[in-house]
Amino acid sequence: MGNGTIKIHLAELIQNSGMSKNQFMHRAGLERTQLNRYCKNDVTRVDLDVLARMCTVLGCGIDDLLEFVPGRAEP
């Protein structure tokens, strides 16, 4: 049941990049609380500019950063 969710793979991408969270935060122009919320998948509204900056700093595509996890269809 449900519409599904969007999973944010930011923490894994930062770890795989070899950058520290602090380095990433400064390069992407994020505040610490904002970064932590994205890393914990605890955001309800995303800012497209923020997503673009994340992808630019990480050298990845939006499909690397975000994943749609479908919900179960009701019978």
- The pLDDT tens digits of the residues spanning 46-59 come to 999 999 999 999 99
Rounded to an integer, the average pLDDT of 14-35 is 97
How many Cβ atoms are within 10 Å of 13's Cβ, its own excluded? 20
Residue 27 contacts residue 55 (beta carbons within 8 Å) = no
Tell me, what's the pLDDT at 2? 77
Confidence of residue 75 (pLDDT cuts 50, 70, 90): low
The CATH number that domain 5-69 falls under is 1.10.260.40
Give residue limits of the domains in the chain. 5-69
Whole-angstrom distance, CA of residue 11 vs CA of residue 4:
21
